[in-house]
Amino acid sequence: MKYIIGNDHGGIDLVDSVEEKLLELGHEVEKIGTYTKDSCDYPDFAKEACEKVLANQADFAILICGTGIGMSLAANKFKGIRAACVSDVFSAKMSRAHNNCNVLCFGSRVIGSEVAKMIVEVFANTKFEGGRHSNRVEKITEIEEKN
Ligand code: RB5
């Protein structure tokens, strides 16, 4: 699978760990985030990453800012993006198994690199369960279409 990693200055500290974990799992990585601690705007990176996912230039995106919140808010404005902001492994698993999320967000001011790597691993290794969850995800898409 191909993953985009996007980050602002607040998310920079976790980028190397996330990239390392994805490569170790055998995935392809494209980094589109900032490389410096100079202040910048997280929606710019969320936009670029989500556009690539929606254009099938990547399968998933991982977006990292200070909290993960701003990135997830921006990402969820895109039709077809289901972004989860998580800081624990169980939620990361459920974001794939039940919600079929295609974007994972977290904050480097919230979690450390070891937890981030565990979250990335479980997200990458968990498949959408479908079944009753498909109906629910379709209802989210309906809301998106109508609002
Ligand atoms: C930047 O200071 C910070 O606001 C940003 O990284 C993010 O946490 C926003 O949600």
Burial 122-145 (b: 16+ CB within 10 A, else e): bbbebebeeeeeeeebeeeeeeee
Nearest CA to ligand 1 atom 7: 66
Domain limits for position 12? 2-146
| pTM for this model (two decimals) | 0.98
Q: How confident is the model at residue 28 (pLDDT cuts 50, 70, 90)?
A: very high
- What is the CATH classification number for the domain harbouring 93? 3.40.1400.10
Which residues have any ligand 1 atom within 6 Å of their CB? 8, 10, 42, 65-67, 69-70, 107
Over pLDDT 90: what percentage of the chain?
100
Q: How confident is the model at residue 34 (pLDDT cuts 50, 70, 90)?
A: very high
The reply to whether 98 belongs to the active site is yes
The reply to whether 40 belongs to the active site is no
Output the pLDDT for position 134: 98
> What Cα–Cα distance (Å) separates residue 18 from each residue in 51, 73, 140?
21, 21, 29
**Interior angle at CA 41, CA 119 and CA 85, nearest 5:** 25
Say if residues 76 and 82 touch (Cβ distance below 8 Å).
Answer: yes
Atom of ligand 1 nearest to the CA of 71: 10
How many structural domains does the chain have? 1
* CA 67 to ligand 1 centroid distance, Å: 6
pLDDT digits (tens, 9 = 90+) for 66-84: 999 999 999 999 999 999 9
Output the pLDDT for position 135: 98
Say if residues 95 and 104 touch (Cβ distance below 8 Å).
Answer: yes
pLDDT digits (tens, 9 = 90+) for 39-71: 999 999 999 999 999 999 999 999 999 999 999
Nearest CA to ligand 1 atom 9: 70
Q: Of the candidates 101, 83, 20, 19, which has an alpha carbon nearest to the alpha carbon of residue 47?
A: 83
Output the pLDDT for position 78: 98
What average pLDDT does the chain have? 98
